[in-house]
Structure 1
Amino acid sequence: MEASGEGTARPITFVGEPVLHRPCEDVTGFDEELVTLVADMFASMYAAEGVGLAANQIGVPLRVFVYDCPDETEEYRRGVVVNPTLVLPAEDERRLDDYEEGCLSVPGQRASLARPDRAVVHGFDVAGAPITVEGTGLLARCLQHETDHLNGTLYVDRLPAERREQVLAAYERERDQAAVTG
């Protein structure tokens, strides 16, 4: 089973929705329902102009994410990881990359966040076969960001408290302004 086809773009779930703030459940069925979900996730990610998307970002509390982003060599990598386990370099081998990070679930906002510049994710493809994805550069950040989502953590949760409050306040101002003018 391959995650192909067009898929249907679903609405993105925004910060504050409970599904984003609790750990997701393991996927147990590697079936057509999962294939459809993955196709919809890719369609949703592309429609929102993202480089990664976790299932809970479209309201589905399952441990699966998709990605389509470059590594440090600018080679685009595309895939899906079901039931991921993130492995980061040991602290004494870790090099942090401080980069402006954003999130489809906190639209319009970005903040500098240091993350390891390398990451490995072990998991499964849509057919249930074991896979390993090794990432560098933006792909490493994406693997960490999406795995965080599945654990109920948003990038803003990793920011210092004052910066987190600033980002969320700016998001709420823009959301409220859009509601008034929209």
Structure 2
Amino acid sequence: MITMKDIVLEGHPVLREVAKEVILPASEEDVAIAKKMLEYLINSQDPEISAQYGLRPGIGLAAPQINVSKRIIAVHLTDDKGTLYSYGLFNPKIISHSVEKAYLSSGEGCLSVDRPVPGYVPRYSRITVTGTTIEGENIKLRLKGLPAICFQHEIDHINGIMFYDHINNEDPLAPIPGAIEITK
């Protein structure tokens, strides 16, 4: 089981690497990594389990965050309509995106960042993602709202990008022109 001690913090060099493609079909080891990452997210959202093991709640996790430089992400969240997005994905890619931007009104957080980072993170409001599931199925997901933001955050991780790289340093809370504000 992954716990907070397994999650590397900002400043660790793996978080700035472009992660390696996962050779498909995924090895048993890679499938186990993806399953453990997804399990962490599910456990972290359970108040009893997260309290027992001291887990910070999360909705997404990328393999570099557990010091594995591979293109693996896990997400576990529901959208504003109650649809559950629960995936471990190998080699996820954004294949298309909207021109329109969106941002979280509360800003973004990260399990690898142990401090508050105020500021709006501009993201695409709608994206289409492809990837291969833990079961080996190639999927295409059309996402908007919080799921779109979460997937962009995790795909950034496998490209060595941190969420705060997108924040306007001069004025972190400056309105993003024409962007949709998303509240969690």
Normalising by structure 1, what TM-score? 0.76
Q: Does 1:128 align with 2:121?
A: no
The CA deviation at 1:98 is 4.6
Paired with 1:24 and 1:102, the residues of 2 have a C-alpha distance of 21
The CA deviation at 1:95 is 4.1
Identity of aligned residues (%): 30
Where 1:42 maps in the other structure, the secondary structure is helix
Paired with 1:74 and 1:115, the residues of 2 have a C-alpha distance of 22
Q: How many residues align?
A: 155
Task: Determine which of 38, 42, 51 is the counterpart of 1:42.
Answer: 38
Q: Deviations over 1:84-111 (max 9, x none)?
A: 11134342xx243353111111124243
Q: Does 1:103 align with 2:110?
A: yes
Paired with 1:55 and 1:88, the residues of 2 have a C-alpha distance of 23
The CA deviation at 1:38 is 1.3
- 36-45 or 144-153: bigger deviation: 36-45
Paired with 2:10 and 2:76, the residues of 1 have a C-alpha distance of 22
Aligned twin of 1:148: 156
Q: Deviations over 1:63-87 (max 9, x none)?
A: 0100011223232211121101113
Where 2:148 maps in the other structure, the secondary structure is helix
Corresponding letter in the other structure for 1:9: I
Q: Can you give the 5+ residue segments of structure 2 that lack an aligned partner in the other structure? A: 45-54, 173-184
Q: Deviations over 1:157-180 (max 9, x none)?
A: 11123468xxxxxxxxxxxxxxxx
Pair 1:41–1:71, CA change in 2 (3 A)? same
Q: Does 1:85 align with 2:81?
A: no
Question: Do the aligned partners of 1:9 and 1:40 also contact (CA within 8 Å) in 2?
Answer: yes
Aligned twin of 2:8: 13
Q: Can you give the 5+ residue segments of structure 1 that lack an aligned partner in the other structure? A: 1-7, 165-182
Question: Do the aligned partners of 1:72 and 1:139 also contact (CA within 8 Å) in 2?
Answer: no
Q: Does 1:57 align with 2:53?
A: no
Normalising by structure 2, what TM-score? 0.76
